Amino acid sequence: MIRNEMEKHNNAYNTPTRKPLAGRLCNLDRLVAVMTARGIDGIVASGANNVYYLTGFNPIAHKSDEPRPYAVVLSRHAPDRPVLVMADYYVGTLVAQPSWVADIRPYRAVMMPMDVAPTPGDIERFLPRNAHGLAWTAGARQHFSFDKASAVRGAIADLGLATSRIAFDDLGYGMSLGLESATLADGYDVLMDARAIKTDIEISMLERAAALNEAAILQTIAAWQPGCNWRDLGHTYAKAVVDLGGFVHDPGGMVWGHPTGTDPAIQLQTGFETDEVRRGTNVMFDCHGIIDLYCWDGGKTWVVDGQPEGVAKLHADATAKVAETMIAAMRPGVRVSSLQQLARDTYRKCGVHDADHTIAFFHGLGLSHMDLPTRTADGKPNGDWMLEPDMVVPLHLLVPGGESTRWWLEEIVHIGAQHSRPLFSWGFGPN
């Protein structure tokens, strides 16, 4: 059965050839509404995910703790005219992946010699021949700056934000700009509030990510052989992901730890596990990774070379029923606390012993495994958050237990205006 399922999913999931984005990722109307509600006039985003979200610009080679070689400046009073500032060596990327942002402002960066005086013509070194004549290149030449700070300050002034309230996703960077007449604010929640509600393009990218994860898990299951250890299993999953066009993060893509014996502790993988994955073990696939920066999450339980029996069968059937009940209840206006109570109540009705120790939790999903604001527009903590249409929300269900009784299911749910739907195609039963 596993081999047939794997072949079906491999046929359904075609390894993608990377293509330019088909349109704008960001929910611009939502962003403007959030900025208005929070009293924000402008946004300056320099984090990689936020730059990608706002512009579609996803350049190679930059690492998260390095100085950020790009920034987006956007005014809610002219949201269709943002400015994208970038290091000179990145301008060629826009030929392969055009941005909906028309105002591109490069600056002289690390590749240019410091012992030679800068000139406006330096930008020509980085403009490929097929960039000449494109709509944005004339502006890129006109606005070429000799440093990033000057480029960002110029964009802020040109958008009429110099005396306004500006939110930065990196507030420390905002403070370094010396904007004496502007009021600075933390932009983390502003952008997360916008990112919580997905556009159609984002939904399709998350569907693709879920399909890749599903195919990779099934390939991993099919590859198991006696003597395989946990490190082998993680490596097999990572290789399947890469073969399918995705990426996992160091130290690995499989999240749950798997204590042996009867230990019911909730643990995470460390990457150092070398114990054998034995027949009859309940393997809880909770897998993370990305494709085109959009995350996947989730999976479910596989009984190695077998099927659930006894208490495990009870836990499996109950978890399937809870998932069905929960997805039917995951509608706009519902808060996560009420869903958690519903999960425990359903486990209890299904005969699960000590149902109060079962786990049900939720978060957003998109460019991160958060995509939710930590505080609402009125400054209150957003812990017990409310579902809204076009959120994508992972549903996590866990019955803790030992290696042969624990049970896990994580489904990815697209919240609809009336009915929500799972993104995985394999159902709620065991693998």
Q: Above 90 in pLDDT, residue 64?
A: no
The position carrying tokens 């939110």 is 167
Give mean pLDDT, residues 55-67. Answer: 92
What is the predicted pLDDT for the residue at 107?
98
Domain layout of the chain by residue ranges: 2-15+198-422, 28-195
Predicted TM-score (pTM) of this structure? 0.95
Query: What is the distance between the alpha carbons of residues 245 and 215, in angstroms, rounded to a whole number?
Result: 11
Contact 312, 303 (CB under 8 A): yes
Instruction: Choose the weakest-confidence range: 62-71, 96-105, 173-182, 380-389.
Output: 62-71
2-15+198-422 and 28-195 agree in CATH topology: no
Contact 232, 275 (CB under 8 A): no
What is the predicted pLDDT for the residue at 324?
98
Helix (H, G, I), strand (E, B) or coil at 396: strand
Length of the chain in terms of residues written: 431
Give mean pLDDT, residues 204-228. Answer: 97
Query: What is the distance between the alpha carbons of residues 79 and 102, in angstroms, rounded to a whole number?
Result: 12
Give mean pLDDT, residues 101-122. Answer: 96
pLDDT tens string 141-191: 999 999 999 999 999 999 999 999 999 999 999 999 999 999 999 999 999
Please state the CATH superfamily assignment of the domain spanning residues 2-15+198-422 in this structure: Creatinase/methionine aminopeptidase superfamily (3.90.230.10)
Helix (H, G, I), strand (E, B) or coil at 271: coil
Q: Above 90 in pLDDT, residue 78?
A: yes
What is the predicted pLDDT for the residue at 13?
72
Task: Taking each helix axis as running N to C, give the angle between helix 188-195 and helix 28-37, from 0 to 180 degrees, rounded to the nearest 10.
Answer: 140
DSSP string, 60-76: SS--TTSPP-EEEEEET
Q: Above 70 in pLDDT, residue 212?
A: yes
Distances 280 to 84, 223, 239, 305 between C-alpha atoms, Å = 54, 16, 24, 7
Percent over 90 (pLDDT), the chain: 93
Summary mean pLDDT of the chain? 95
Q: Above 80 in pLDDT, residue 258?
A: yes
DSSP string, 300-326: EEEETTS---THHHHHHHHHHHHHHHH
Instruction: Choose the weakest-confidence range: 4-18, 187-201, 357-371, 382-396.
Output: 4-18
Q: Above 90 in pLDDT, residue 327?
A: yes
The model's confidence at residue 16, banded by pLDDT at 50, 70 and 90, is low
What does the H/E/C string look like for 41-55? CEEEECCHHHHHHHH
Q: Which fold has domain 28-195?
A: Creatine Amidinohydrolase; Chain A, domain 1 (3.40.350)
